[in-house]
Structure 1
Amino acid sequence: MSTNTIITIERQYGSGGHLIGEKLAESLGIPFYDSELIKVAAKESGICEEIFESFDEKPTTSFLYSLVMDPYSLGYNSNSFDLPLNHKVFLAAFDTIKELASKGPCVFVGRCADYALEDFDNCISVYVHAPFEDRIKRIENEYGIPNGKSKEMLMKKDKQRSSYYNYYSSNKWGDAKSYDLCLNSSYLGIDGSVDLIKKIIAMKESEK
């Protein structure tokens, strides 16, 4: 199956959203960007990769921390020098997402990509969720997180992603109104989720 569609995926921690995105991109033969986006954005902006990683999908940090870390980021867009560091990092990622999307179809996971591409009419936004207990089992089995820490880790990660998305986006993380498609990966499975997204893509492209 070939496509001209860009797919963005927001996901609950432990729902398998990364794997769904990866398999979808492989099946469609298009680029896949999750943490890979950090390397591209760092290279394009001149902000060091470690800075991107420290702010990646995390809520805003204190102004003092931004001030201390800021000298490492000088060089990105002289018009943004008066912005806090976390905003500079977000804008660099935002610009990179738009630039990559302008080159052709691809799959983005996280980082408010759906918000960055809201003006692209060839974009489908997806939210992947799953029951709490299923996600707990997944991060314990797949990520090797100990049973005693898995619940805390899951809640922390979800809170970070929610705070990041709600801060930078005009939409609300996890709200069905914010996305074109919401799917339960426990109900559909990883492959079933990929197949459903491909069917939605085919329907969208058949309308044009």
Structure 2
Amino acid sequence: MEHGDVRKVLDQIKGQEVFEKNMKRPDCVILDSEYCSMGRMVAVKACEGTAYTYYDASLLLDLLPEEREQKKKILEYDAVLAGWKGTAQELAEDPEFQRISGIYRKAVKAALEKGPCLIHERGIREDVEAMGYSCLSAITYGTVQENKRIRARVTPDYADLETDGELDQVIAAEDKKRRLYHDGLSRKPWGAKETYDLCVNTEILGKEMGIRLLRLLLTGEN
């Protein structure tokens, strides 16, 4: 994308009411991200120098001292999601899922009580609003599969994979885990772009523009 095009996009977004500086900033931003769309990196950088604290699953659990001994086991629940053969609705009715998601809900509440925050992948907008806090939602995604493969290939978990087919399978599996967790708790399907306040295609806009757009959502400034 040419520099002028990027500026045009940014100017258009600045003109929308949701990004006006006089708008009350949300208490929380929930960020979903497709695997290998640079969502975590964009979120961490967007929070730097702002009033917002970044949380992912691990950082959320650190807010619950009573769960310290069980933290590793809770994080390993991802393996259950990876192997889940049923629907999201069936997952929602599973006692162990209810227990794990309840722990994360408790951690999200603790994060909200500490101040403005951005929660990556373990937050549900409806839950945050039900707790009495204002919330906006965003998603990062990518449309160039080869770029996703390149990023997946350099992660420690998948460094040994060699073929495009193998990489495509693990990318889809990672997205499946995120989709199942979200859809087991929310009425709005994970990844459905029309349900988010901000959608950032990091392949087209790039990492730096993604950071600027998310920072606009947080602060009204870029």
TM superposition shift of 1:23: 0.7
Q: Aligned pair in 2 of structure 1 residues 60, 190: CA closer, same or farther (>3 Å)?
A: closer
For 1:167 and 1:60, how far apart are their aligned partners in 2?
14
Partner of 2:211: 194
Taking the TM superposition and a 5 Å limit, the aligned residue runs for 1:26-41 are 26-34=48-56, 35-41=58-64
For 2:37 and 2:79, how far apart are their aligned partners in 1?
16
Q: Which amino acid aligns with 1:37?
A: L
Whether the 8 Å CA contact 2:202–2:210 is kept in 1: the answer is: yes
What TM-score results when the alignment is normalised by the length of structure 2?
0.70
Partner of 1:147: 162
Whether the 8 Å CA contact 2:63–2:111 is kept in 1: the answer is: no
Partner of 1:112: 123
What TM-score results when the alignment is normalised by the length of structure 1?
0.74
Q: Which amino acid aligns with 1:97?
A: V
TM superposition shift of 1:110: 0.3
Q: Which amino acid aligns with 1:24?
A: A
Q: Aligned pair in 2 of structure 1 residues 200, 190: CA closer, same or farther (>3 Å)?
A: same
Partner of 2:10: none
Whether the 8 Å CA contact 1:176–1:182 is kept in 2: the answer is: yes
Q: Aligned pair in 2 of structure 1 residues 135, 61: CA closer, same or farther (>3 Å)?
A: closer
- Provide the identity percentage: 22
For 2:197 and 2:66, how far apart are their aligned partners in 1?
30
2:137 counterpart SS class:
strand
Match of 1:11 among 19, 26, 33: 33
TM superposition shift of 1:196: 0.9
For 1:86 and 1:51, how far apart are their aligned partners in 2?
13
**Alignment root-mean-square deviation, CA:** 2.9
TM superposition shift of 1:121: 5.0
The answer to whether 1:125 aligns with 2:137 is: yes
Partner of 1:178: 195
2:147 counterpart SS class:
helix
Q: How many residue pairs align between the two structures?
A: 182
For 1:49 and 1:90, how far apart are their aligned partners in 2?
13
For 1:162 and 1:57, how far apart are their aligned partners in 2?
14
Match of 1:164 among 181, 188, 205: 181
Partner of 2:148: 135
Q: For structure 2, which runs of at least 5 residues remain unmatched after alignment?
A: 1-24, 85-93
TM superposition shift of 1:33: 0.9
Partner of 1:78: none
Partner of 2:20: none
Q: For structure 1, which runs of at least 5 residues remain unmatched after alignment?
A: 63-82
Whether the 8 Å CA contact 2:26–2:218 is kept in 1: the answer is: no
For 1:54 and 1:142, how far apart are their aligned partners in 2?
18
For residues 76-96 of structure 1, give each alpha carbon's deviation from its aligned partner in whole angstroms, at most 9, with x where no partner exists.
xxxxxxx82221111111121
TM superposition shift of 1:37: 1.5
For 2:133 and 2:63, how far apart are their aligned partners in 1?
24
Q: Which amino acid aligns with 1:159?
A: K
Whether the 8 Å CA contact 2:78–2:177 is kept in 1: the answer is: no
Match of 1:86 among 80, 97, 111: 97
1:40 counterpart SS class:
coil
Q: Aligned pair in 2 of structure 1 residues 166, 4: CA closer, same or farther (>3 Å)?
A: closer
